[in-house]
Amino acid sequence: MRNLVVFYSLEGNTRLIAESIAKAINADVLELKTKKKYSDKGFKKYFWRGKSVIFKEKPELLYLDKDINQYDNIFIGTPIWVGTYAAPLNTFLKNNKIEKKNIGLFACHGGGGATKFFNNIKKEIPNNKFIGEIDFMEPLKNNKEEDVRKAIMWVKELIG
Protein backbone atom coordinates (compact mmCIF):
# COMPACT_ATOMS: atom_id res chain seq x y z
CA MET A 1 0.00 0.00 0.00
CA ARG A 2 1.47 3.34 -1.00
CA ASN A 3 0.83 6.43 1.11
CA LEU A 4 0.61 10.06 0.08
CA VAL A 5 0.12 13.16 2.22
CA VAL A 6 -1.33 16.08 0.26
CA PHE A 7 -1.62 19.43 1.99
CA TYR A 8 -1.81 23.16 1.69
CA SER A 9 -0.51 25.40 4.47
CA LEU A 10 -0.09 29.14 4.63
CA GLU A 11 1.40 29.66 8.08
CA GLY A 12 2.98 26.31 8.80
CA ASN A 13 0.52 24.61 11.15
CA THR A 14 -0.86 22.17 8.60
CA ARG A 15 2.67 21.65 7.24
CA LEU A 16 3.88 20.59 10.70
CA ILE A 17 1.15 17.97 10.97
CA ALA A 18 1.55 16.85 7.35
CA GLU A 19 5.30 16.32 7.64
CA SER A 20 4.96 14.55 10.99
CA ILE A 21 2.42 12.03 9.75
CA ALA A 22 4.30 11.50 6.48
CA LYS A 23 7.48 10.65 8.37
CA ALA A 24 5.61 8.30 10.72
CA ILE A 25 4.20 6.16 7.92
CA ASN A 26 6.87 6.68 5.30
CA ALA A 27 4.54 8.54 2.95
CA ASP A 28 5.35 10.70 -0.03
CA VAL A 29 4.44 14.37 0.40
CA LEU A 30 2.71 16.68 -2.03
CA GLU A 31 2.55 20.30 -0.91
CA LEU A 32 0.12 22.46 -2.86
CA LYS A 33 1.56 25.87 -3.64
CA THR A 34 -0.21 28.70 -5.43
CA LYS A 35 1.49 30.43 -8.34
CA LYS A 36 0.33 33.82 -7.17
CA LYS A 37 1.05 34.93 -3.62
CA TYR A 38 -1.90 36.24 -1.64
CA SER A 39 -1.43 39.51 0.25
CA ASP A 40 -0.20 38.90 3.79
CA LYS A 41 -0.89 42.21 5.50
CA GLY A 42 -3.50 42.70 8.22
CA PHE A 43 -7.08 42.81 7.02
CA LYS A 44 -6.12 41.90 3.45
CA LYS A 45 -4.77 38.58 4.64
CA TYR A 46 -8.30 37.53 5.60
CA PHE A 47 -10.17 39.45 2.93
CA TRP A 48 -8.62 37.90 -0.19
CA ARG A 49 -8.47 34.41 1.20
CA GLY A 50 -11.96 34.63 2.63
CA LYS A 51 -13.23 35.80 -0.74
CA SER A 52 -11.42 32.93 -2.48
CA VAL A 53 -13.32 30.39 -0.38
CA ILE A 54 -16.70 32.11 -0.61
CA PHE A 55 -16.47 32.36 -4.40
CA LYS A 56 -14.97 28.86 -4.71
CA GLU A 57 -11.97 30.26 -6.56
CA LYS A 58 -9.44 27.88 -8.06
CA PRO A 59 -6.06 29.59 -7.75
CA GLU A 60 -3.46 28.23 -10.14
CA LEU A 61 -1.04 25.81 -8.50
CA LEU A 62 2.63 25.18 -9.11
CA TYR A 63 3.46 21.91 -10.86
CA LEU A 64 2.48 18.81 -8.88
CA ASP A 65 5.33 16.31 -8.85
CA LYS A 66 3.24 13.39 -7.58
CA ASP A 67 0.58 11.40 -9.45
CA ILE A 68 -2.26 10.53 -7.08
CA ASN A 69 -3.11 7.44 -9.13
CA GLN A 70 0.05 5.80 -7.78
CA TYR A 71 -1.26 5.76 -4.20
CA ASP A 72 -3.74 3.71 -2.17
CA ASN A 73 -3.96 5.80 1.00
CA ILE A 74 -4.19 9.57 0.64
CA PHE A 75 -4.15 11.96 3.59
CA ILE A 76 -5.49 15.41 2.79
CA GLY A 77 -4.74 18.39 5.03
CA THR A 78 -5.82 22.03 5.00
CA PRO A 79 -6.12 25.08 7.19
CA ILE A 80 -9.74 26.05 7.82
CA TRP A 81 -10.68 29.21 5.98
CA VAL A 82 -14.17 30.62 6.53
CA GLY A 83 -15.28 27.33 8.02
CA THR A 84 -14.04 24.97 5.33
CA TYR A 85 -11.03 23.94 3.24
CA ALA A 86 -8.68 26.51 1.72
CA ALA A 87 -9.21 27.55 -1.92
CA PRO A 88 -6.07 25.81 -3.30
CA LEU A 89 -7.82 22.53 -2.50
CA ASN A 90 -10.58 23.54 -4.97
CA THR A 91 -8.00 23.54 -7.74
CA PHE A 92 -6.46 20.27 -6.64
CA LEU A 93 -9.82 18.47 -6.40
CA LYS A 94 -10.91 19.78 -9.79
CA ASN A 95 -7.70 18.75 -11.58
CA ASN A 96 -7.27 15.34 -9.98
CA LYS A 97 -9.95 12.70 -10.05
CA ILE A 98 -9.76 11.02 -6.65
CA GLU A 99 -11.65 7.73 -6.61
CA LYS A 100 -11.46 4.37 -4.86
CA LYS A 101 -8.83 5.56 -2.39
CA ASN A 102 -8.63 5.32 1.36
CA ILE A 103 -8.79 8.91 2.53
CA GLY A 104 -7.71 10.42 5.85
CA LEU A 105 -8.56 14.06 6.55
CA PHE A 106 -6.73 16.50 8.80
CA ALA A 107 -7.04 20.22 9.42
CA CYS A 108 -5.74 23.10 11.50
CA HIS A 109 -7.97 25.94 12.63
CA GLY A 110 -8.25 28.81 15.06
CA GLY A 111 -10.84 27.20 17.31
CA GLY A 112 -13.84 26.84 15.02
CA GLY A 113 -13.38 23.12 14.36
CA ALA A 114 -13.31 21.32 11.04
CA THR A 115 -16.69 19.58 10.75
CA LYS A 116 -17.76 21.57 7.70
CA PHE A 117 -14.50 20.74 5.91
CA PHE A 118 -14.97 17.04 6.60
CA ASN A 119 -18.56 17.13 5.33
CA ASN A 120 -17.83 19.30 2.30
CA ILE A 121 -14.90 17.30 1.00
CA LYS A 122 -16.78 14.03 1.40
CA LYS A 123 -19.47 15.46 -0.89
CA GLU A 124 -16.84 16.67 -3.33
CA ILE A 125 -15.04 13.31 -3.70
CA PRO A 126 -17.72 10.79 -2.69
CA ASN A 127 -16.38 7.64 -4.35
CA ASN A 128 -13.72 6.94 -1.75
CA LYS A 129 -13.45 5.26 1.61
CA PHE A 130 -13.01 7.83 4.39
CA ILE A 131 -10.92 6.14 7.03
CA GLY A 132 -10.36 8.91 9.57
CA GLU A 133 -10.42 12.58 10.44
CA ILE A 134 -8.63 14.76 12.96
CA ASP A 135 -8.21 18.46 13.65
CA PHE A 136 -5.89 20.70 15.64
CA MET A 137 -6.10 24.21 17.01
CA GLU A 138 -3.04 26.09 15.70
CA PRO A 139 -0.43 23.62 16.98
CA LEU A 140 2.45 26.06 16.44
CA LYS A 141 0.89 28.43 18.99
CA ASN A 142 -0.64 25.93 21.38
CA ASN A 143 0.22 22.27 22.01
CA LYS A 144 2.86 21.60 19.37
CA GLU A 145 4.49 18.47 20.82
CA GLU A 146 1.24 16.97 22.06
CA ASP A 147 -0.49 17.60 18.74
CA VAL A 148 2.35 16.02 16.77
CA ARG A 149 2.18 12.97 19.03
CA LYS A 150 -1.60 12.81 18.59
CA ALA A 151 -1.28 13.06 14.81
CA ILE A 152 1.30 10.27 14.66
CA MET A 153 -0.82 7.97 16.84
CA TRP A 154 -3.85 8.72 14.67
CA VAL A 155 -2.16 7.90 11.39
CA LYS A 156 -0.47 4.78 12.70
CA GLU A 157 -3.78 3.45 14.01
CA LEU A 158 -5.36 4.04 10.63
CA ILE A 159 -2.87 2.18 8.52
CA GLY A 160 -0.66 0.35 11.02
Ligand X SMILES: Cc1cc2nc3c(=O)[nH]c(=O)nc-3n(C[C@H](O)[C@H](O)[C@H](O)COP(=O)(O)O)c2cc1C
Q: Which residues bind ligand X (CB under 6 A)?
A: 9-14, 45-46, 49-50, 79-83, 108-112, 138
Helix intervals (H) in 38-129: 42-54, 87-95, 115-124
| Burial group, residue 65, by CB count within 10 angstroms (0-12, 13-18, 19+) | exposed
Q: Which is nearer to ligand X, 112 or 126 (CB)?
A: 112
Q: Which is nearer to ligand X, 52 or 102 (CB)?
A: 52
Task: Specify whether the CB–CB gap between 64 and 30 falls below 8 A.
Answer: yes
Least distance in angstroms from the C-beta of 32 to ligand X:
11
Question: How far is it, in rounded angstroms, from Cα 64 to Cα 35?
Answer: 12
Q: Which is nearer to ligand X, 102 or 147 (CB)?
A: 147
For the beta carbon of residue 50, count every other beta carbon within 10 angstroms: 13
Least distance in angstroms from the C-beta of 2 to ligand X:
25
Least distance in angstroms from the C-beta of 99 to ligand X:
27
Q: Which is nearer to ligand X, 30 or 102 (CB)?
A: 30
Least distance in angstroms from the C-beta of 140 to ligand X:
7
For the beta carbon of residue 74, count every other beta carbon within 10 angstroms: 24
